[in-house]
Each structure stands twice: as C-alpha cells, then as structure tokens.
Copies of this chain bind each other. A is one copy, B any other.
C-alpha cells in the first residue's frame, strides 16, 4: 500500500498555492533571484520515516533556520550556564529596540535574533578558532544533522557579505560590550557562512526531527545532541522563534518553529516529528507566507499542537496482567514516563498481590524514564514489604540501576519461569 501521507501533504500545498502575497527577500541580489513560486513540504517522524511533496528537493540557504541548531551545538559544547552568560532566552517582545540587547547586561535577549545568533556563532570551536575552522565545525555538524554532506552557497554568502551593514553594526556593538571577542568583520563572516549552508526541505525536516528525537538523528541513528539540549532549544524556539507574535503563534499553531529569509520554515513537535516547508515569498516580518499557512493547517487538521490535550503520553502502559493463585505477571509496554508509572501503580492497587510472586515484565517497554524507573522500583519494594516476592523480567537490560531505596537490588527473572496458565485479567 502506498502511504496516503504524501498525498495529504500535497493537499496542504494545493490549498496554499494560490496565495501569492508577500515578496521574495530582495535585500541581497542572490536571494532576490529565487523563484517565488517554489513550494515544498517534508515531514520526518522520530522513527525516521520521511514524507515529502512539491519542491522538497529544491536547494536554498538555511539563513536564520541555522540559529536554533547552532544554539544547540553551543549548549552541547559549553553547557547552559556558559551559553546563558552571553545570550538570554526571553522573547524580544515588540521590536522596540533596534539591537535587542538586554537593558542591563547588554546580552542579546535571545539566540533567535541576529545579535544573539552572531554571539552564539562565536562560541563554537573555542574562542581562538579561526573563522575557517569554526565554519567547518558548524558545516560538518549541520551535515550530520541532515545525514549528508552539505555545502556553503558561495554566491549567496558573498552577496550577503556585501549587504551586511546591519550585522556589522550588531557585531561591533557586541564587541563594544565584550559579548564577543573576535573582530567584528570576522564574526559577521563566520555567521554569514553559517547562514549560507545550502539545504533542501527534506534535509530540514530530518534536522527538525533530530531535535524532536532527543538528539538522535532518526535516519542515521547517530546520537548528536543530548535530550536536555534539544529540550532547551525547542523551548527557545517556542518562545522566541517566530519574532513578534510569539504568543499568537504558540496559541494558533503550537509548534516550536523557526523561519529563514530564503523561504524555509521548520517546526518540531517534541517526541513526534519534524516538518519543513519552503516558499520564498515573505511577509513583513520576514516569515514565509505560504509556509505559515501550511503550518496553521498542519496544526489545525492534524492535531499537531504542543498544547493539544489529546497528547495522552504514557497511555495504556499496562499491556496485560496475568495472574493465577500464586503468581502475577504484569506486562508493561511503551514509554514509561511519570504518567505511565502513575497509571501502573494505580492499577496495581486493585490487585491483591501481597502473597504472590510478582514479576514485572518490561521486555516490551520502549523507553524507561528516570522517574519511571525510580517509582517502579519503589512500588516493587513496597510490594515486597507487604509480603510479595518480586522480580523483573528485563531481557534487554533497560533497568540500568537495580538498587532500591532500601539498598537491595531488584531480582531478575526469566520470562519462561513465569509462563503461567492463568487468565489475562487486563
């Protein structure tokens, strides 16, 4: 069977195609040449399935879409504290402030505005890095996120450098306040090269999915970023990614997102998927008009909203409970987070397990969150305290720390030992 998802994506493109509003970015000649009619979309699940429609393989430069990814790299290399010393994480609100520097300490207010992105770029590869090494470090990292070798578009880069008064102004001011150490022209050169990495819409969807997937590239399987880094990056995208109107975006669309002036737009739904669109005509704020429309449809039609109360994570963690007179086997499944373990523990209160041999089968658990592990062990310990004999069936060894709060270890058991002729009682 051919998946209907590409057709669904095509339908979204068709419904926005007629919108000819806005204009291609014209502040540099190379961008102004872009075909305004290009329209593409791609979607990548955290399981690595990719779907695309339209001009999804057309190449263009990342521009500001590079910002969240390089911010993530800085967090990964230096940690949150060091990064927060040079850039904040608050929305800039009304752009009442030309530079968007913090009033008190002159840090850029967030890494999604140019001043912040220039400062973050300078954090990569150490303060003494040459521009060449820093840019190569970033290009190589972005390539790993995309799963293929990417290149810098020299024409766009050169054209942009000829029209970089604003960025030069920002860089000089950052240097004035000691936020960056490097020469202002080098800082702008380095940042402009970062912005000039050429990608296609599929690449962007995969990169966005890598953030959704806690830093593991869903196609290559490479673990590139820590989950914490992804969480912080997505939070900053959510509050600062779409410039002004962050509140409306999170209410109406509810997908942490970032746009680029070449027409790209990415979104990430944590744990679920990455999505990217491409359409070069921009609105006054510099966001792709048809891209924004497509995201609104994705959110409304497909329930892809961060605040969707239908996102019942950790539902049905108990696959089955088998019990006979003496023995009970509790089969868990899926992702065992707090909500899941709460459900498990709540369910177990209904059973009279005090005199049973109780085995917790976690062989079909996909991920076991730290709090899930702790609470499950504590539940087992309490069962033993109440008289039960406990064990865990864990053929894959996902219960990495078996020590319980009383200092003893959770006993392990084999599944075969608990093949019971009892009835399923789920």
State whether A90 and B245 are in contact (beta carbons under 8 Å apart), knowing that A311-B270, A345-B3, A367-B312 are contacts in the complex: yes
Q: Is A416 an interface residue (CB 8 A)?
A: no
State whether A239 and B232 are in contact (beta carbons under 8 Å apart), knowing that A3-B345, A91-B91 are contacts in the complex: no
Query: In the docked arrangement, what's the CA distance between A235 and B246, Å?
Result: 10
Contact of A247 with B91 in the complex, beta carbons under 8 Å: yes
Contact of B382 with A1 in the complex, beta carbons under 8 Å: yes
Contact of A172 with B169 in the complex, beta carbons under 8 Å: yes
Q: Is A212 an interface residue (CB 8 A)?
A: yes
Contact of B311 with A378 in the complex, beta carbons under 8 Å: no
Q: Is A273 an interface residue (CB 8 A)?
A: yes
Q: Is A122 an interface residue (CB 8 A)?
A: no
Contact of A247 with B89 in the complex, beta carbons under 8 Å: yes
- A240's partner among B92, B247, B378 (CB-CB below 8 A) is B247
The interface residues of chain B lying within 8 Å CB-to-CB of A306 are: 235, 238, 270, 306
Q: Is A301 an interface residue (CB 8 A)?
A: yes
Q: Is A323 an interface residue (CB 8 A)?
A: no
Contact of A1 with B349 in the complex, beta carbons under 8 Å: yes
The interface residues of chain B lying within 8 Å CB-to-CB of A97 are: 96-98
Q: Is A152 an interface residue (CB 8 A)?
A: no
- A272's partner among B240, B314, B346 (CB-CB below 8 A) is B314
Extra 19 A-B pairs, beta carbons < 8 Å, given A89-B248, A235-B254, A238-B238: A1-B383, A3-B342, A4-B382, A45-B342, A46-B312, A93-B94, A99-B99, A168-B168, A168-B184, A231-B254, A232-B307, A235-B247, A239-B239, A239-B247, A270-B308, A271-B308, A271-B313, A273-B342, A310-B337
Residues of A bordering B, CB below 8 Å: 1-5, 7-8, 45-47, 49, 51, 88-94, 96-99, 101, 103, 110, 165-166, 168-173, 175-176, 184, 211-215, 227, 230-232, 234-236, 238-240, 244-248, 250-251, 254, 256, 270-273, 301-316, 333-335, 337-339, 342-343, 345-346, 348-349, 353, 366-367, 369-371, 375, 378-379, 382-383, 386
